[in-house]
Amino acid sequence: MADDSAENAWQHVADLFQDNKNSRTVYLETQFTNTSLAYFSTTSIYCNRLKSLADQLSNVGAPVSDQHLVLRLLVGLTEGYAGFVTVMQQKDNLPSFAIACSRLKLEETMIQERVARASGSTALLTVDDGSPSQSQPYTTHNTPSLGRHNTN
């Protein structure tokens, strides 16, 4: 008899989950669609959020393909990553999400270095988790930033 009540309780929990499944899917789809790098301090945090939302969508029966995840990653990037987006979009085959995130993190580091060089300041590079890297800060010398063109 005790097993019947436990089984009934678990069935009730399962029914509640199924009842909320469509609402949860709509909520997660909206979050996934509206996720943008503009809301995050680093590309690593941005990538982690997209992956988390994709995993949650899969858990409610709405899996996100790796290609769709990469496309969402690209669509959500800010203007500062326009060149990166263009290069990625021109590929015949998109890389996996893991590789796209790795390349994006490298691009972020290169952008930070260009900004530091352009400002002539000392910059401390960050690693994926946002903490200071173990390397020494590097000093820049008022060198022009790479990849920028004078529009005047």
Per-residue pLDDT tens digits of the chain, which is 152 residues long: 556 788 888 887 777 666 688 889 999 999 999 999 999 999 999 999 999 999 999 999 999 999 999 999 999 999 999 999 999 999 999 999 999 999 999 999 999 999 999 887 554 555 555 444 443 343 333 333 333 333 43
Give the separation between CA 144 and CA 124, rounded to whole angstroms. Answer: 19
3-state helix, strand, coil in the chain (%, to 5): 65, 5, 30
